[in-house]
Amino acid sequence: MNAFPPGNHDALWLPFTANRQFRASPRMLVSAHGMYYKDDKGNSVLDGCAGLWCVNAGHTRPRIVEAVQKTVATLDFAPAFQMGHPLAFEAADRVARLAPGNLNHVFFCNSGSEAGDSALKIALAYQRLRGEGTRTRLIGRERGYHGVGFGGISVGGISGNRKLYGSLLTGVDHLPHTLDLRRNAFSRGQPEHGAELADELERIVTLHDASNIAAVIVEPMSGSTGVLPAPKGYLKRLREICTKHGIVLIFDEVITGFGRLGASFAAEKYGVVPDIMTVAKGITNGTVPMGANIVSDKIFEAFMQGPPEAIDLPHGYTYTAHPIACAAAIATLDIYAEEHLFERAGALSSYFENAAHALRGYPHVVDIRNEGLVAGIELEPRPGTSTTRAYEIFDRAFRQGVLLRYTGDTVAISPPLIVEKNEIDRIFETIGRLLKEID
């Protein structure tokens, strides 16, 4: 069967893809159910990465499908500027109730990238509204990923995503990343060493003075740059330094939110609450694009001080709180709660951890990292070329019926939270076999 439908296949430009290599040897998906995709040849493909870290409840869940179908036939679109609809209020309330601490206010957007840029704008505006308008500098972290908007790539720390795009935002500094193979290789869960790396924020404060710094944004566990859980104590230290200096702390929970780590959010799991949390992906089980900022009372209240008829936040999107996305989010949160999927992920995590770490000692493996239902297997690169080994594992695994992700030299695994033990076995056995197969 021809993988491609008729037409000009150059018409589609795929993101973060080697397009010419892909067209020569495509990987095509045509349907999905539960833990499995079906490819264009009719083969079943076990989803080892929840689509792109987003389908946490598994694919085509009837409750979500029906909510979407009903909504699209009832209220296909509703403007969100100076207008509202019931699903938007319900979805915000549900998300806020799930969030820890005083994170009680939800601003909807359509992706993790928009959530990242929105969070930075809210933080800057907040500082100005509270009379601290000199606080304009933004701090990210090396190896951070906050999407692909100009704000996100500026505070992000991946040179490959930045180098083609000019000067980016000015006034940005980066904390050092926390990956330390020398001290922490083959850690299970959060690594022991590296809390002191948060003190680098003090160094940046000394350099610029706190009166010039608006916000710090980090992922509690970096996903896209190879699964890097924060070292023990690191996030708490970052929280303390931000509080001491009046800096807004933003957690990017686009991957870590909605059960991936065995709790609703990493903030809950680690007991450290930021001022703003960005989420996306699992908020709708990946079914409809949606992102959000979950904002603290203190920040929200700062925007509610002007004249009631003035627009408090001049920011938003045509598709903010889209009815179909809101319906998908509500149905998704229902499933997470009724099936106790976050708890399930937590309960399965030690089995998953053991399966991942069983690959220690296999050819090419230089580190294995994990937390909740996510793992990264880092491979030694072939001399002179990075990523080719990990790509080969990804490509061969797909052709053998297992969907993985690779990022740099790391193979990433983050299955839907409904995964069964025998499916966890199959994922890691496939990787183990391929590690022995490739050169």
Q: What residues line the site for ligand PXG (CB under 6 A)?
A: 52-53, 111-113, 116, 145-147, 219, 223-224, 252, 254-255, 280, 405, 407
* Alpha helices (H) along 165-247: 181-184, 200-208, 234-245
> For ligand PXG, which is the closer residue by CB, 246 or 381?
381
Name the minimum Å distance from CB 150 to ligand PXG: 13
Name the minimum Å distance from CB 148 to ligand PXG: 6
Name the minimum Å distance from CB 5 to ligand PXG: 24
> For ligand PXG, which is the closer residue by CB, 5 or 160?
160
Kindly tell me the sign of the dihedral angle through the C-alpha atoms of 259, 261, 266, 268.
Answer: positive
- State the Cα–Cα distance between residues 116 and 253, nearest whole angstrom: 10
Angle between helices 86-98 and 323-338 (to 10 degrees): 40
Determine the residue with CB nearest ligand PXG.
112
Beta pairing class for 137-141 and 172-175: parallel
Considering only CA atoms, which of 327, 347, 404 is closest in space to residue 89? 327
> For ligand PXG, which is the closer residue by CB, 205 or 332?
332
Name the minimum Å distance from CB 360 to ligand PXG: 23
> For ligand PXG, which is the closer residue by CB, 132 or 395?
395
Contacts 24+ apart (CB under 8 A), 24-33: 25/395, 27/395, 27/398, 27/399, 28/3, 28/4, 31/60, 32/59, 32/60, 33/58, 33/59, 33/60
Name the minimum Å distance from CB 38 to ligand PXG: 21
> For ligand PXG, which is the closer residue by CB, 54 or 299?
54
Name the minimum Å distance from CB 281 to ligand PXG: 6
Write out the two tokens for 433: 């076999």
Write out the two tokens for 60: 């085509």
Beta pairing class for 29-33 and 221-222: unpaired
Considering only CA atoms, which of 265, 285, 336 is closest in space to residue 55? 285
Name the minimum Å distance from CB 256 to ligand PXG: 8
> For ligand PXG, which is the closer residue by CB, 173 or 219?
219
Angle between helices 421-437 and 341-357 (to 10 degrees): 30
> For ligand PXG, which is the closer residue by CB, 135 or 141?
141
> For ligand PXG, which is the closer residue by CB, 254 or 333?
254
- The CA-based diameter of the chain, rounded to the nearest angstrom, is 67
- State the Cα–Cα distance between residues 105 and 130, nearest whole angstrom: 18
Name the minimum Å distance from CB 98 to ligand PXG: 18
The Cβ of residue 314 has, within 10 Å, a number of other Cβ atoms equal to 8
> For ligand PXG, which is the closer residue by CB, 279 or 330?
279
Name the minimum Å distance from CB 407 to ligand PXG: 5
Name the minimum Å distance from CB 7 to ligand PXG: 26
Cβ atoms 56, 263 nearer than 8 A: no
- State the Cα–Cα distance between residues 90 and 71, nearest whole angstrom: 14
